[in-house]
Amino acid sequence: MGRFRDALAGPGVTAIAEVKRRSPSAGDLRPDAHPAELAASFAGAGAAAVSILVDERFAGSIDDLRAARQATEIPLLGKGFFRRVEDLEALRAAGADAVLLLLRDLDDREARALMDAARHLGLDSLVEAHDADELRRAVKLGADPIGINARDLTSFEIDLRTQLELVAGAPRDRVVVAESGISNRAQVLRAELAGADTILVGSTLMRAPEPAVALRHLVSRPVVKVCGLTREEDVAAAADAGADLAGFILARESPRRAPGVLPVPETMLSVAVLVGELEPADADLVQLYGRVDGHRSRDGVVFHRGEQVASVVDLPWQERDPTHLERARRASGRVVLAGRLGPENVGEAVEAVRPWAVDAASQLESAPGVKDHERVRAFVRAARC
């Protein structure tokens, strides 16, 4: 595999930031976009790779690829509608590291021939599917990476639900890219938890006042969870502050027991917090603790659609432990750091542990189950600094 594919396979969810001046479905996005400036700024913001539209229907050209290559060393994807080996040769000569191949436009013989040609030229192939049949074809062709596009290129309609189902069904030994339709952090989280290694995002960045800042916001970690929510007004305050996860404790012994999983806006995911047994819950995620001496166990696990996706490193019930951060630092996989976190100490904890997510409840309250909105805002700000 080439350096494009290897860059996407980095730890955590990675991003391909796209440079495009216009879209056939949305019209002008950023007509004055400078590929060199954007590519360099995206690299500085943490992009794993940059996608350059070279098709005139997107107001792009091969010169845009050349300009981006002169401005950055990170991998570049040449994006367009390619059917000829000569197209691939031109991309490689202009500095591309990878080419997009659309199975919508290619039969298996054509796709295999272009993949072989790309390999001979030193290009990776991002083979794109948008339905179950095309995903099956991509897998059979040995494609790696595989792109799953949420946009139907005929109707231009976005279907994120079907995209996530396809992502979840893709082989785990391939790099999977969730393409199109991503506009907020919650959608990035959904793609990541479904199994995507990478997101490709273009229109959202091109519409942003500062595209590199928008990219950094979409993929930065840690994820921020405000837990112990019992009131709709507190959910709204957490969402307004920029929290990613809304936690609802359903354990009977908790003074922060919620009446149920309350509605959350599309910018957040809901988390049902259980103690004892894993039970069905109307939530995006389930956070489960064991039960010890009538209370929750020290640590827990997070499930998504019945599959464990993260571990929770917490403090003992109503106790402290000076080794807490060291324990969390040694943990592997996605780590949710919890345990008396608040605005005053979360920054230090993030710096020490580098967790996937941080989780706070009691330190953000004016009373059990009642959130102090200013402390919620301060916590989210401190976690992201």
Do residues 215 and 322 both lie within one domain? no
Q: Which of 41, 51, 134, 179 is catalytic?
A: 179
Do residues 167 and 155 both lie within one domain? yes
- All residues at 6 or more sequence positions from 239 whose CB lies less than 8 Å from its CB, including other chains: 246, 264, 265, 267, 268
- Say which CATH number the domain at 308 has: 3.20.20.70
How many distinct structural domains can be found in the chain? 2
Write down the pLDDT at residue 349: 97
Q: What is the pLDDT of residues 291-344, one digit of tens each?
A: 888 788 999 999 999 999 999 999 987 788 889 999 999 999 999 999 999 999
Write down the pLDDT at residue 206: 95
Mean pLDDT confidence for 72-98:
97
User: Catalytic: 61?
Assistant: no
Examine the pLDDT at 24 and tell me if it is beyond 90: no
- Please state whether 134 falls in left (phi above 0), alpha (psi between -120 and 50) or beta: alpha
Do residues 258 and 353 both lie within one domain? yes
**CA–CA dist 379, 384 (Å, integer):** 9
CB neighbours of residue 37 within 10 Å: 15
Do residues 291 and 314 both lie within one domain? yes
Write down the pLDDT at residue 334: 97
Write down the pLDDT at residue 64: 96
Q: In degrees rounded to 5, what are phi and psi of residue 23?
A: -130, 140
Do residues 167 and 291 both lie within one domain? no
Band (28; pLDDT cuts 50, 70, 90): confident
User: Catalytic: 140?
Assistant: no
Do residues 167 and 245 both lie within one domain? no
Q: Which of 23, 41, 51, 79 is catalytic?
A: 79
Do residues 151 and 281 both lie within one domain? no
Q: Provide, rounded to the nearest whole percent, the portion of the chain with pLDDT above 90.
A: 85
Check if the beta carbon of residue 212 is closer than 8 Å to that of residue 326: no
Q: What is the pLDDT of residues 131-176, one digit of tens each?
A: 999 999 999 999 999 999 988 777 778 889 999 999 999 999 999 9
User: Catalytic: 220?
Assistant: no
Do residues 20 and 147 both lie within one domain? yes
Write down the pLDDT at residue 320: 86
Check if the beta carbon of residue 16 is closer than 8 Å to that of residue 198: yes
DSSP SS3 for 235: helix
Write down the pLDDT at residue 265: 97
- Taking CA atoms, 94 is separated from 61, 74, 125, in Å, by 11, 14, 16
Write down the pLDDT at residue 248: 98
User: Catalytic: 18?
Assistant: yes
Could you tell me the sign of the dihedral formed by the alpha carbons of 245, 250, 253, 258, in that order? Answer: positive
Q: Which of 41, 51, 128, 254 is catalytic?
A: 128
Do residues 363 and 292 both lie within one domain? yes
- Taking CA atoms, 296 is separated from 82, 119, 290, 339, in Å, by 56, 53, 6, 13
User: Catalytic: 225?
Assistant: no
Examine the pLDDT at 233 and tell me if it is beyond 90: yes
Write down the pLDDT at residue 319: 80
User: Catalytic: 86?
Assistant: no
Do residues 195 and 266 both lie within one domain? no
**CA–CA dist 204, 83 (Å, integer):** 28
Boundary (domain end) residue, out of 219, 245, 274: 219
DSSP SS3 for 244: coil
Boundary (domain end) residue, out of 152, 187, 219: 219
**CA–CA dist 361, 228 (Å, integer):** 5
Write down the pLDDT at residue 94: 97
- Token code pair at residue 284: 């995006």
**CA–CA dist 58, 65 (Å, integer):** 13
Do residues 325 and 213 both lie within one domain? no
Beta strands 370-371 and 365-367, pairing class: antiparallel
Could you tell me the sign of the dihedral formed by the alpha carbons of 336, 342, 347, 353, in that order? Answer: negative
- Token code pair at residue 83: 């059917």
Write down the pLDDT at residue 177: 98
Boundary (domain end) residue, out of 219, 239, 267: 219
Q: What is the pLDDT of residues 45-68, one digit of tens each?
A: 999 999 999 988 888 899 999 999
The whole-chain average pLDDT of the chain stands at 95
For 232, the domain range is 223-384
Which has the closest alpha carbon to 118: 137, 139, 144?
144
Write down the pLDDT at residue 130: 92
Do residues 197 and 275 both lie within one domain? no
Q: Provide, rounded to the nearest whole percent, the portion of the chain with pLDDT above 70.
A: 100
Q: Which of 23, 41, 51, 149 is catalytic?
A: 149
User: Catalytic: 79?
Assistant: yes
pTM confidence score: 0.93
Q: Which of 23, 41, 125, 180 is catalytic?
A: 180
Examine the pLDDT at 243 and tell me if it is beyond 90: yes
